[in-house]
Chains A and B, each alone.
Chain A
Amino acid sequence: DAGITQSPRHKVTETGTPVTLRCHQTENHRYMYWYRQDPGHGLRLIHYSYGVKDTDKGEVSDGYSVSRSKTEDFLLTLESATSSQTSVYFCAISPTSGGNLAKNIQYFGAGTRLSVL
């Protein structure tokens, strides 16, 4: 299994509070991603990072920010949580070595279940 740890695994918070989710990897992969999964949807990309301090927006980035100060850590922050951000959040990593097919494989963490009340 890819060395990806997400913390916390579960969190309940109140509307309007800030929340930070952490993704830690031990694979030294350059690319890291944050997705959310909701009923009736597949996984949708929130933000991704292609290196330290290099990040970009995904499909559903509104209300989220990210930071990557070290290769191994990618943080997702909800500045002011809303009920619509209740979801399961997955972090993923992908390698930059190997053939093109291998470089497209993303490996996922176990997820963080976030409830915003």
Chain B
Amino acid sequence: DQQVKQNSPSLSVQEGRISILNCDYTNSMFDYFLWYKKYPAEGPTFLISISSIKDKNEDGRFTVFLNKSAKHLSLHIVPSQPGDSAVYFCAASATAGTALIFGKGTTLSVSS
């Protein structure tokens, strides 16, 4: 049973527009949520995170929104750039030093 779900396997966006990647979770014990970006033949790279006491965290072009009552989070990328084309993973954890539970990933393609 998947605890972290990314229901859209792929997303295509034009350069300069907004990319919105979505993630749902089922485990109410999760307190920390992270987004990773992964290029082919490389390891996942940490992008941005948020704790459950917040509803928004922003870092440059990347913003993560958390709706705890809906058990939903989203990653907004504005403006999108061709270099953002990658697989994006949503991950969650209940506490530090334990497993990150990953979604299956969403492949983002940004066309110029």
Give A contacts to B, CB under 8 Å: 4, 30-31, 33, 40-45, 48, 50, 58-59, 90, 92, 94, 96, 100-101, 103-111
Contact = CB atoms under 8 A, between A and B. Distances in A.
Interface residues of B, number: 27
Contacts of A50: 97
Interface of B: 4, 32, 34, 36, 41-46, 49-51, 89, 91, 93, 95-105
B46 to A, nearest CB: 5
A43 B34 CA distance: 13
Contacts of B100: 43, 45, 92, 104, 106
A96 B97 contact: yes
Contact of A105 (B34, B89, B105): B34
Contact of A111 (B43, B51, B101, B103): B43
Given A103-B96, A104-B96, A110 B104 contact: no
B99 A45 contact: yes
26 contacts: A31-B96, A31-B97, A42-B89, A42-B91, A42-B101, A42-B102, A42-B103, A43-B44, A48-B98, A50-B97, A59-B99, A90-B43, A90-B44, A94-B97, A100-B51, A101-B50, A103-B96, A104-B32, A104-B93, A104-B95, A106-B46, A106-B100, A110-B41, A110-B42, A110-B43, A111-B42
A111 B103 CA distance: 18
Nearest to A9: B41
Nearest to B92: A104
Contacts of A30: 97
A101 B45 contact: no
Contacts of B95: 104
